[in-house]
Chain A
Amino acid sequence: MKQFLVGLIVLFISLHIKGQGSDKPISVDALQQEMLEKTKETRSVSCDFLQQKQMQYLDEVIASSGKLYFDKKNRLRWEYIDPFEYLIVINQGTFIIETDGQKSEYDIESNKMFSQISELIISSVNGTVFTDDKFSVEAFEGEKQYLVYLEPNVDELKGVISKIKIRINKSDFSVDQVIMYEEQDDFTEINFINKQFNEVLPDHLFTVK
C-alpha cells in the first residue's frame, strides 16, 4: 500500500538511469512480492512532502511543500500548502482539483489523462505498478534503500517525462523519494517525510466543499 506514492509519480514522470555505485540489480518481481507482503497490513499513510523543481540551465529551484494522505479505499489527498495552495483529491472515481478557491471535478472514466493517473495510483497500491506495461522497470538494492527506475513505454508519457527514480525505504518499504526527470537537466525531486501509518483518516480529508 505504501507503494501508492509510486503511482503519484507517474502523474508526472518516468525513467531509465542505472543504479549507482555499489547498488546491485535485483529482481523486480521479487521486490514487488516483498513489498506486497510487508505492506499488506497498511491501511493508511499520511506524510509531509518537500518538492524541489530544479531547472539547472537557469540555475533556479522552485521549492514547495505540503501534505499527502492515502487510504486503503484508494482515496488520495495531495495538498500543496507553501508557497501556494493547490489541492488534488481522488475519491470514488472522481478527480478533484481546487486552486484559488475554485473547484474542478472530473470523472476519471471520462478523461483519458485522469484515467491513466488513477490507474497508475491504484496499481501502485495493489502492487501491480511494477508490472505495468506502460513502463520498463529496473530495480537495485542499496545499503538502506531500494532504487526503482521507471521508463515510459507509451508516447503520451514519453512526451512529458523521460524517467522516474524512486527510493524505497528498506525498513518499512515506504517511498522516501521520487525524482521525475524531464528533458535536458530539468527534474522534480519530492521527498516524503514524517510518515505516519495506519492513522484513522477522516472522510472530510477526501472531500472538497
Chain B
Amino acid sequence: MSKYRSHELSSPLPGNYTTALYKAKIEVFGSFFSGLILFKYNVDSNDYNIVLLSEVGLTICEFYSVNNTIEVRKASSLFQSKKAQGILAEDLALLIDRIPLIKPKSESTYKSNKGILYSTSSDDHIQQIRKRRLINGIQVELENYNKGIPAQVHFKNKGIGFSMKLKLIKVS
C-alpha cells in the first residue's frame, strides 16, 4: 500500500480562464507546420472547443471534447490525415481531460486508472505527463506556469514522427 495519500489533480487547462491561445509548432511525419491553437472552455456545458488554425486565419481542424471524450468536428482539406488527426486529438486531450482521484506512486508522481503518469511540482502543477500506448507512448512536458496556465508545452510521441510545441500567447 502506498504511504502517500490519494490525490486529485487539476488538469493543466483551463486554469482560471475560459480561453487560451497558443502558438503551435507541429511535426507531422517529417513535415513541419506552425499555427495557432485555441482552447475554448464553456463553463455552462462543461465542454471544450479546440481549434487549430493557421497564422493567416484559416481553420485547419476543430475538435470538441466533453466528458473526457474528444472528437474531430471538422478538418479542412489541408489536414485530412485521419491518423494525424487522431494523434493530435489524443495529445490535446491530455491537457483538458478531468483527472480522477488517483493514488501517488511517489511524493510527486501519480498514476491514473488509465495508466497515465503525472509528475507534479511542489505547488501541484503538472510538469510532466506520460502515457503508454500499445507500441509507443506520449510524453508531455509542461513548463513556466503563469497564473495557473503552462506557458510552454512540449509533446513528444515516441516511435512516430509526431511532436508538438505550444507557446502561450494569451488567456482570457
Contacts and interface: CB of A to CB of B under 8 A. Distances in A.
B38 interface: yes
A11 B59 contact: no
**Count class of interface residues, chain A:** 20 to 34
B7 interface: no
B49 interface: yes
A124 to B, nearest CB: 16
A51 B57 contact: yes
A80 B76 CA distance: 23
Interface string B88-124: 0000000000000000000000000000000000000
A36 B134 CA distance: 62
B154 interface: no
Interface of B: 19, 21, 23, 25, 32, 34, 36, 38, 40, 49, 51, 53-59, 74, 76-78, 167, 169-170
A73 B108 CA distance: 60
23 contacts: A12-B54, A12-B56, A12-B58, A51-B57, A53-B57, A58-B38, A60-B40, A64-B55, A80-B55, A83-B21, A83-B170, A84-B36, A97-B34, A104-B32, A156-B77, A160-B58, A160-B76, A160-B78, A182-B59, A183-B74, A188-B56, A188-B57, A190-B57
A100 B26 CA distance: 12
Contacts, number: 67
Interface in A22-48: none
Contacts of B169: 83-84
Given A84-B169, A159-B76, A182-B58, 16 more contacts: A53-B53, A58-B40, A60-B40, A62-B21, A62-B38, A64-B55, A80-B55, A83-B169, A99-B23, A100-B34, A104-B32, A155-B77, A156-B77, A159-B78, A160-B78, A188-B57
Given A58-B40, A160-B76, A182-B59, A100 B167 contact: yes
Contacts of A53: 53, 57
Max chain A Cβ within 10 angstroms of own Cβ: one of B19, B53, B59: B59
